Amino acid sequence: MVALLALLVAWFVSSGDGDGGKGGDGANGASPAPSITPGPSPSGPAISAAPGGRDDTGGSGGTGGTGGTAGSGGAAGAGGPGGTASGAGGPGGTGTGGAGSGGGAAAGGAGGGQGGATGSAQLVPADSPLPHCVPGSLQLTLSSTKVSYAPGEEPRFRLTARNTTATGCKTDLGPATAVLTISDEKDEEVWSSDDCLRGDGRAYVSVPAGGTATYTVEWDRRHSAPGCGTPSTRVAGPGTYLAEATVPGVKGVLRSSITLAKD
């Protein structure tokens, strides 16, 4: 009897365990879910805006940096030497000075139609307040307007005075003072500016400071005679001729040669 009771108790217990296992399988079918442990609380402020959204009120922008002080422009540089000048303008300035153009043409020369003088030089009276050019202050040159002259063309010679000082002055370039002679290939004198003068044969010209004055003598190809002798009808023929000028205060003789071409 006791053995039968013990058998019943054992069967009852084993039946109860089997039902419990089935119940667990049906309710879950998997291992129990793990528990979630909260992490540490963030130390910064909470994010209130939804991810990807736009803040309707707009966050306050950061304060803009203060702009640096604009640098002031440098002072305009003064014009250096070499500024545009028509005369002797100061450094950087626009010069308004400059040598004036010559006045009337210089006149004089040999009479009788055998010679004459015109030029770009400005004539001044002999008693003008302009001082006389001191010896050594002028550089003189003699040149012809052309090397060769066609038949019937009258040769022209230029006597140019250059003032090497800083003071304007006057000088006599007239035919009685600056004597021009023309010789042929045989070294025979053909014409001289002082053979027959008009008036006193003087021509004072103004030579500006650092500038020049040119006195031009024109030869009509005729032969001349000293002391206004009988006018010669003889005309210089083709060939080479030498012009020479002697000027008081100038050492040596100024020379220039020309050719009179054949027909």
Q: What is the pLDDT confidence band of residue 252, given thresholds at 50, 70 and 90?
A: confident
Domain spans, the chain: 115-260
Residues 6 or more apart in contact with residue 189 via CB below 8 angstroms: 181, 182, 183
Report the greatest alpha carbon distance in the chain: 203
Distances in Å between the Cα of 151 and the Cα atoms of 116, 213, 218, 248 are 19, 30, 15, 34
* Stated pTM of the model: 0.57
Region 40-68: mean pLDDT is 41
Region 150-179: mean pLDDT is 95
What per-residue confidence (pLDDT) applies to 226?
Answer: 87
Please indicate whether residue 81 or residue 1 has the higher confidence score (pLDDT).
1
Q: Characterize the bridge pairing of strands 254-260 and 148-149.
A: parallel
Region 216-244: mean pLDDT is 89
100-158 per-position pLDDT tens digit: 333 444 444 444 333 334 446 789 999 999 999 999 999 999 999 999 999 999 999 99
191-227 per-position pLDDT tens digit: 999 998 888 899 999 999 999 999 999 999 999 988 8
Does domain 115-260 fall into CATH 3.90.1150.10? no
Question: Of the spans 29-43, 69-83, 190-204, which averages the highest pLDDT?
Answer: 190-204
* Percent of the chain residues topping a pLDDT of 70: 53
Contact yes or no for 162/183 (Cβ under 8 A) = no
Contact yes or no for 122/212 (Cβ under 8 A) = no
Which of 21-30, 55-64, 76-85, 200-209 is least confident?
Answer: 76-85
Residues 6 or more apart in contact with residue 202 via CB below 8 angstroms: 108, 126, 172, 174, 176, 177
What per-residue confidence (pLDDT) applies to 249?
Answer: 79
Contact yes or no for 223/191 (Cβ under 8 A) = yes
The first and second tokens of residue 194, run together, are 């002082």
The average confidence (pLDDT) of the chain is 69
